[in-house]
Amino acid sequence: MRILLGITGGIAAYKAAGLVRALSELGHEVTVLPTENALRFIGKPTLEALSGHAIDLDLYSDVSAVRHVELGQQADLVLVAPATASFLGRLAGGIADDLLTNAVMAAKAPVVVCPAMHSEMWENGATQRNVRELQSQGVRIMPPASGRLTGEDSGIGRLPEVEDIISFALGPMTLTGKRVLVTAGGTREPIDEVRYIGNSSSGRMGLEIAKAARDLGAAVTLIAANLESIPAGMEVLRVSSVSELEQAMNRGSDLLVMAAAVSDFEVANTYRGKLPRSQAPKIELKPTKDLLAGYAAKHPRTFCVGFALVETGGDIEKTARQKLWDKGCKVVIGNSSKALGATETDVLFVTADEATPLSGSKGTVASEIVSRVSQLLVSQGN
């Protein structure tokens, strides 16, 4: 594969040397195109030696060959790592003011961008708008990793490790063309206008699953129940109660992942207005609808994935298998209540034929779940 590797002027530019070497050792032909600022962090001779190609950054040299168009059109993949906030803004705005941005805009090949910057810059609203704009144009954005940053700071913004970048950029887009519906968060059922009952859920697993499906090429619709922070690059429907969630789920999909913590009960005697403390009511509860079973029955061609939360010490596989049949799912993810609010998790991936334990960060586990589900989709011809 002919890979055009863009490098922009951030401190993480030094990692590009390892990326060039790793891609070359895999048999790819790598053409390196750094910006002038990138060469303040890593030397041109190093990049030329590793890639085997001379580097000329002048947009106006060899004009008759139209180099910026040639570089873009000859690539099978355009990969920019690291990408600074400035680069994201210029590319999102269609500003082609150097050889790299010209080549990227002239490319017909897939474009993968790996941002790296300080946490505050990554989380800035302008950066996130630029990310969403690029994703809407079909650019794949690899989220930055968390860890030690420049100086003594730590947080999100690190350039991911070389092997992770290669896996993201070159991995199969197994969900391209698939419509994926993901529910995340916890529903809330009103007691009065300001109070509610609900389920404890950070929504982190659902959000990670939505991101993993997005990164495999799916058109993702995320139904977010009482969540604030939402990933870019997907349609988002915000809901609060079970009835709102049911209404938002009233659409077809190739894959449904029901990761939301849906309340089993709603208040039968809701109060209009705000109840005064002196009039504490006797709350009457009634069961809510089984949204997952209802959806599976209404959409028999959809591949449905459910979650089964089991009390610590309970039989996770038995509970998950029971839910597999009761809900009409193809996969149930069994997990323990100790995972609530945690960043690490242990789950059991249960199908009719297997029960496979998965463990690690919720991001890692979510990626493995989506990868396994996408393989089952392909094998079953969905």
**193-242 pLDDT tens trace:** 889 998 878 899 999 999 889 888 888 999 999 998 887 778 999 999 99
More confidently predicted of 124 and 146: 124
More confidently predicted of 146 and 89: 89
- Pair 36, 62: CB distance under 8 Å: no
Pairwise CA distance, residues 205 & 231, whole Å = 12
Is the pLDDT reported for residue 135 higher than 90?
A: no
Confidence of residue 382 (pLDDT cuts 50, 70, 90): low
Lowest mean pLDDT among 201-210, 243-252, 299-308: 201-210
Q: What is the largest CA-CA distance in the chain?
A: 84
Q: What's the rounded mean pLDDT across residues 3-23?
A: 93
Asked if the bond preceding 82 is cis, omega within 30° of 0, the reply is yes
Looking at residue 300, its pLDDT comes to: 95
Residues 133 and 238 placed together within one structural domain of the fold? no
Q: Which H/E stretch holds residue 220?
A: strand 219-225
Looking at residue 66, its pLDDT comes to: 52
- Whole-model pTM: value is 0.68
Residues 154 and 129 placed together within one structural domain of the fold? yes
Is the pLDDT reported for residue 64 higher than 50?
A: no
Q: What's the rounded mean pLDDT across residues 81-91?
A: 96
Residues 247 and 157 placed together within one structural domain of the fold? no
Altogether, the residues listed in the chain come to a count of: 382
Instruction: Single out the residue in 170, 200, 223 at which a domain terminates.
Output: 170
Confidence of residue 67 (pLDDT cuts 50, 70, 90): low
Q: Which of 325, 316, 323, 322 lies closest to 346, judged by CA?
A: 316
Looking at residue 211, its pLDDT comes to: 87
Contacts of 153 (CB under 8 A, 6+ apart): 118, 119
Residues 221 and 143 placed together within one structural domain of the fold? no
Is 213 exposed, middle or buried, given 0-12, 13-18 or 19+ CB atoms closer than 10 A? buried
Looking at residue 381, its pLDDT comes to: 66
Is the pLDDT reported for residue 60 higher than 60?
A: no
Count of domains for the chain: 2
Which amino acid belongs to residue 322? Q
Residues 155 and 194 placed together within one structural domain of the fold? no
Pairwise CA distance, residues 140 & 46, whole Å = 27
Residue 261 DSSP symbol:
B
Average pLDDT, the chain: 89
Is the pLDDT reported for residue 45 higher than 70?
A: yes
Tens-place pLDDT, residues 346-358: 899 999 999 999 9
CATH of the domain at 62: 3.40.50.1950
Residues 144 and 241 placed together within one structural domain of the fold? no
Looking at residue 68, its pLDDT comes to: 59
Lowest mean pLDDT among 132-146, 238-252, 258-272: 132-146
3-state helix, strand, coil in the chain (%, to 5): 35, 25, 35
Looking at residue 341, its pLDDT comes to: 62
Instruction: Single out the residue in 170, 187, 219 at which a domain terminates.
Output: 170
Q: What's the rounded mean pLDDT across residues 362-366?
A: 87
Residues 155 and 252 placed together within one structural domain of the fold? no
Residues 164 and 183 placed together within one structural domain of the fold? no
Q: Containing domain of residue 369, as a range? A: 179-379
Catalogue the active-site residues: 199
Confidence of residue 191 (pLDDT cuts 50, 70, 90): very high
Instruction: Single out the residue in 134, 149, 170 at which a domain terminates.
Output: 170
More confidently predicted of 156 and 231: 156
Residues 330 and 192 placed together within one structural domain of the fold? yes
Looking at residue 89, its pLDDT comes to: 97
Residues 154 and 272 placed together within one structural domain of the fold? no
Q: What's the rounded mean pLDDT across residues 273-296?
A: 89
- Sequential DSSP letters for 298-316: H-TTSEEEEEEEE-TTS-H
Q: What's the rounded mean pLDDT across residues 148-168?
A: 85
Residues 305 and 365 placed together within one structural domain of the fold? yes
Question: What percent of the chain has a predicted confidence (pLDDT) above 70?
Answer: 95
Residues 260 and 296 placed together within one structural domain of the fold? yes
CATH of the domain at 299: 3.40.50.10300
